[in-house]
Amino acid sequence: MSRTPLRCRYRTALVTGAGAGLGRAFSDMLRAEGVEVWGTSRRPETLGAAERFHPVAFDLADGDSAAEALVGRVAEESGGLELLVHNAGYGVFGGILDQPLSVWRAQLDAMLGGSFALNRAAFASMAPRGRGAIVNVTSMAVEFPIPYFSGYNIAKAGLAALTESLMLEAPMSGITFLDFRPGDYRTGFNQAMYASTPKTLSACAQRVARRLDATLEASPPPQRAALDLRRALSRGRSGVVRSGSFFQTVLGPLGVRLMPLALRRAAMARYFGVR
Ligand SMILES: NC(=O)c1ccc[n+]([C@@H]2O[C@H](COP(=O)([O-])OP(=O)(O)OC[C@H]3O[C@@H](n4cnc5c(N)ncnc54)[C@H](OP(=O)(O)O)[C@@H]3O)[C@@H](O)[C@H]2O)c1
């Protein structure tokens, strides 16, 4: 692994959802590498003070102008945004008919619409300087959609497609685009998700929820994902980066390429106990 500190490549970074889980680990890693970090939360007062850390309020649900204002503010305060790690996101669990349409719509507006606006603003800010990096934290759900997670599957697949679109449109921009796909990491993700989950779930959805909880409980801490991100940023090459266990990042994607779709779907249904 390159031992050159990341600050030699990126002086300033904006990390969305920097208060907990993966975002916190990414932010801590970047600060340890000497990068000045602007980190967001919907409740910035909970972020606390730390060296090279600037708390900022941001809610993906607040629309295009909030995303543009965030990037504008960070660019101004930092003297130029050089790295965006767009990590913020949340799950909504339940069958398509179990959650009101407004809940699905809100998730898509925030995680697809908000992410698009944020990427566009960061790209506009970096393009004139001809350097920087935009990292979108997607998910292995892009390759393995999770049952009872339709809004999340759509949002993450869309975010991956947006990252690929930027790679296609702007290969000579001097900007690195990363689709960073975590497998399972032990964070408060499921806890946050269950806060908005209906009390009555079908037996099948309950089996899926138990599987999701067991997998998350047995998964590695988010600091491991931060090491993978560090490695990818040091390489400075655009592309897809899978982060997690050998099964999730190597065997699974290989299976996706080799297995017929019907067989893959059956394997996923069996894994989650969907019947
Ligand atoms: N953990 C995993 O196994 C896993 C696997 C694949 C992908 N991911 C992705 O990794 C990212 C981080 O998840 P995590 O596991 O670290 O979960 P987490 O601990 O629940 O963190 C989610 C972060 O997103 C922020 N957030 C949630 N909704 C937001 C909104 N509407 N506007 C702005 N910020 C919002 C939260 O910030 P505040 O509450 O402070 O505002 C929080 O910091 C997510 O995008 C998730 O989809 C996680």
Tens digit of pLDDT for each residue in 140-198? 999 999 999 999 999 999 999 999 999 999 999 999 999 999 999 999 999 999 988 87
Domains annotated for the chain, with CATH where assigned, are 7-272 (3.40.50.720)
pLDDT at residue 1 greater than cutoff 70: no
The lowest-confidence range among 54-58, 60-64, 196-200 is 196-200
Ligand 1 centroid distance, CA of 206 (Å): 22
Per residue, what are the HEC states of the chain? CCCCCHHHCCCEEEECCCCCHHHHHHHHHHHHCCCEEEEEECCHHHCCCCCCEEEEECCHHHCHHHHHHHHHHHHHHHCCCCEEEECCCCCCCCCCCCCCHHHHHHHHHHHHHHHHHHHHHHHHHHHHHCCEEEEEECCHHHCCCCCCCHHHHHHHHHHHHHHHHHHHHCCCCCEEEEEEEECCCCCCHHHHHHCCCCCCCCHHHHHHHHHHHHHHHCCCCCHHHHHHHHHHHHHCCCEEEEECCHHHHHHHHHHHHHCCHHHHHHHHHHHHCCC
Q: pLDDT by residue (tens digit) across 201-242?
A: 999 999 999 999 999 999 999 999 999 999 999 999 999 999
Cα distances from 164 to residues 9, 24, 26, 176, 196, in angstroms, run 22, 25, 22, 11, 31
Atom of ligand 1 at shortest range from CA of 188: 19
Q: Cα 106 vs. chain centroid, distance in angstroms?
A: 17
The angle that helices 64-78 and 115-126 make with each other, rounded to 10 degrees, is 30
Inter-CA distances, 202 with 89, 98, 125, 208, Å: 25, 9, 47, 10
SS (H, E, C) 89-148: CCCCCCCCCCCCHHHHHHHHHHHHHHHHHHHHHHHHHHHHHCCEEEEEECCHHHCCCCCC
Percent of the chain scoring above 90 in pLDDT: 92
pLDDT digits (tens, 9 = 90+) for 121-138: 999 999 999 999 999 999
Q: Is the pTM of this model over 0.95?
A: yes
Specify the pLDDT at position 199. 79
**pLDDT reported for residue 2:** 61
**Distance, CA 229 to ligand 1 centroid (Å)?**
16
Residues near ligand 1 (Cβ within 6 A): 16-17, 19-23, 41-43, 58-61, 87-90, 110, 137, 139, 182, 184-185, 187-189, 192, 216
Ligand 1 centroid – CA 88 distance (Å)? 4
Nearest CA to ligand 1 atom 3: 184
- Residue from 15, 22, 103 to probe ligand 1 pocket by mutation (most atoms less than 8 Å from CB): 22
Which ligand 1 atom is the nearest neighbour of the CA of 184?
3
| 119 CA from centroid of ligand 1 (Å) | 17
Structure tokens at 271: 């894994």
- Atom 43 in ligand 1: which residue has the minimum CA distance? 17
Q: Which amino acid appears at position 53 of this protein?
A: F
